[in-house]
Structure 1
Amino acid sequence: MKSFAELSEREILALAIASEEDDNRVYMAFAEDLHDRYPSTAKVFEEMALVEASHRQMLADLYERRFGQNIVPIRRGDVNFFIKRPPVWLTKNLSLDTIRREAELREAEAFGFYQKAAEHAQDPGVRKLLSELAQTEQTHEEIAANLESTLLTTSARAKEAKTSERLFLLQYVQPGLVGLMDGSVSTLAPVFAAAFATHSNWQTFLVGLAASLGAGISMGFAEALSDDGSITGRGSPLLRGGVTGLMTALGGIGHTLPYLVPGSIPNAFWIATGIAGVVVFFELWIIAFIRTRYMQTPFLKAALQIVLGGAIVLATGILIGAA
């Protein structure tokens, strides 16, 4: 790998051409990825790709005049000036923030490269072009902002905001709610069965902890493997699996923690069980609220479904444990 100081003027121009080609392709990939979800923002990146293509052509014309048609095969990875970053543009259904952040990083890197290359160049014509490109890259964020103000109308922004809300529901709220419901309800039976079978707080805590973590791991893998998000637009399977697994574990641990009440305290079992019962009550009502807030389910209907289901599971655990 070469350092920047080792590059010849010919290699600098060739690297600039390759970099503009790379930026052009990345921005077109972003535009393609955004086309169905955010059509107006996709146009912004199409315009940015065209700007990069025009830069590439100016550099190529200058290179041909100076060094001929044979362009040196040098890329960003061959020079230690450029920061190595994961190829996020190969991932489908990226968030707008991720895409815009990547674009900002690429433009900042391009500005630094052209500024340093202009200082390194000996030929006046090369120096002039590189300086102009440095200024263009420095103001590219402003260009993007102008493109957004032109292309992103009020209706387009409202549509994209609605799409963002939908994606938030699909990628975070829905898997989180599924996990919370499963963790809060499915672990009730083993926790309270263990409690009434042993009347031991510590043994009950161990059973609840194992049930919660086991359910979290199982639900996390199930969600991650159920859908890669490429067709449904539900985002990264790892992210969804992580959200589901975490919320499942939290849902179960909530009514398990009260059984950490020391057994040496008088009536420790009933104190822990009473606290656990209160925690269960709030867990079920929180789930009902989330379903009402984000899933448009009438509150009374959501509460009846969740509370009734939880009560049945809770009673099942108590009856089995007391048998």
Structure 2
Amino acid sequence: MLSRFWSNTRREFHSLSEQEILALAISSEEDDARIYLAYADGLREDYPASAKIFEEMAAEEETHREMLLKMHKARFGPEVPLIRREHVKGYYERKPDWLVRPLGIEKVRAMASQMEQQAHRFYLRAAQQTKDVDTRLLLGELAIAESGHQTTASQLEAKHTPDEVRDAEDKAEHKQFILTYVQPGLAGLMDGSVSTLAPIFAVAFATHDTWTTFLVGLAASVGAGISMGFTEVASDDGVISGRGSPIKRGLATGIMTAIGGLGHALPYLIPHFWTATTIAFAIVIVELFAITWIQNKYMETPWARAIFQVVLGGALVFAAGMLIGNA
């Protein structure tokens, strides 16, 4: 009974027959071809040259599949057993990254390279486990072909994506990253870090009660995060502006808004008022520096201008909070 409970439904690779090895190779080539076509479909609108690369790589995988089918038909007949990657213990798996849109060009290229390396190792091991001379020869040829796909991909890339095209695609991807994540996240961080300064420090200096200050800071941060997130989602669907998914932008804005406010609210979990206030003030400085750094790195705002805007705004809000709290 215990053996049934702990049993693994996956087969060991060494237990596969030669027919099952061929069937596994056939299904793997079919899956890889579909993945490459999915990559091409996901890249076609923004990166048409790279999409063409994956279309040609998919065609090559289909050629390999046809070679394997001919070998299977010659040795075992036309009926191919149903065996896939998930049926074999220790066999490589494909993560469904191709289902996530938009596709990142560099991530797709890296995944394709990993796919070819895994396929190369599979064919080497499959050939070692096969005794039939013709089948072993075919598997060895496919191992060489998969190993050479790195060269083929490079050749296709040189053909379809010369340096100027690839540079343009990389710039487009970087711009999309900024529009979808950096810009909304920066807006949220600025709002959370700066706008919550006044209520948090006003309550802190008015009550000198760290727990009350923390609760107000928590409420202000979470509330601002929810408000900013929904505002970002509702403000632009991204279709015309090209800013990307409103859900992703909303999450980036909402999460960073909450983080910005919680940064200087959490120190008030410390019971000692001045210790908590000193730490909160230090965290505010770190937050303002982080905002300045992001503006300079991603938004190309000059350091002097970024520091002036952020520090001046933060100082005015902080001063307003202290004045109101001590009134």
TM bucket by the smaller chain?
A: 0.7 to 0.9
The answer on 1:25 being equivalent to 2:29 is no
121, 130, 148: which one pairs with 1:121? 130
Structure 1 partner of 2:103? 94
242, 256, 272: which one pairs with 1:247? 256
Mean Cα displacement is larger for which, 110-119 or 19-28?
110-119
Structure 2 partner of 1:63? 72
Structure 1 partner of 2:202? 193
Query: Separation in 1 of the partners of 2:315 and 2:245?
Result: 34
Equivalent residue of 1:27, what SS?
helix
Contact kept? 2:265, 2:280, Cα under 8 Å: no
Aligned in 2, Cα 1:33/1:274: closer, same or farther, shift over 3 Å? closer
Deviation at 1:237, TM superposition (A): 4.4
Query: Separation in 1 of the partners of 2:81 and 2:267?
Result: 69
Aligned in 2, Cα 1:107/1:281: closer, same or farther, shift over 3 Å? closer
TM-score normalised per structure 1: 0.79
How is 1:211-290 mapped onto 2 (pairs within 5 angstroms)? 211-212=220-221, 215-216=224-225, 219=228, 232=242, 234=244, 237=247, 243-256=252-265, 263=272, 268=274, 272=277, 276=281, 287=291, 290=294
Cα deviation code 1:194-229 (max 9, x no counterpart): 023214456435533553355446656776898897
Structure 1 partner of 2:7? none
Letter in 2 for 1:321: G
154, 157, 164: which one pairs with 1:145? 154
Equivalent residue of 2:118, what SS?
helix
The answer on 1:76 being equivalent to 2:85 is yes
Aligned in 2, Cα 1:229/1:89: closer, same or farther, shift over 3 Å? farther
Structure 1 partner of 2:168? 159
Query: Separation in 1 of the partners of 2:243 and 2:132?
Result: 50
Structure 2 partner of 1:39? 48
174, 180, 184: which one pairs with 2:193? 184
What percent identity do the matched residue pairs reach? 51
Structure 1 partner of 2:114? 105
Equivalent residue of 1:77, what SS?
helix
Contact kept? 1:227, 1:237, Cα under 8 Å: no
Query: Separation in 1 of the partners of 2:67 and 2:215?
Result: 69
Query: Separation in 1 of the partners of 2:87 and 2:290?
Result: 54
The answer on 1:321 being equivalent to 2:307 is no
Unmatched runs of 5 consecutive residues or more in structure 1? none
Aligned length in residues: 317
Aligned in 2, Cα 1:137/1:286: closer, same or farther, shift over 3 Å? closer
Aligned in 2, Cα 1:2/1:287: closer, same or farther, shift over 3 Å? closer
Query: Separation in 2 of the partners of 1:226 and 1:74?
Result: 48
Contact kept? 2:220, 2:261, Cα under 8 Å: yes
Query: Separation in 1 of the partners of 2:19 and 2:56?
Result: 29
Contact kept? 1:171, 1:234, Cα under 8 Å: yes
Cα deviation code 1:4-43 (max 9, x no counterpart): 2332222222221111111001001001111122222222
Mean Cα displacement is larger for which, 149-158 or 224-233?
224-233
TM-score normalised per structure 2: 0.78
Letter in 1 for 2:325: G
Cα deviation code 1:116-152 (max 9, x no counterpart): 2212222211111011001111222232122223322
Aligned in 2, Cα 1:56/1:311: closer, same or farther, shift over 3 Å? same
Aligned in 2, Cα 1:108/1:302: closer, same or farther, shift over 3 Å? closer
Equivalent residue of 1:37, what SS?
coil
Query: Separation in 1 of the partners of 2:283 and 2:130?
Result: 69
Letter in 2 for 1:234: G
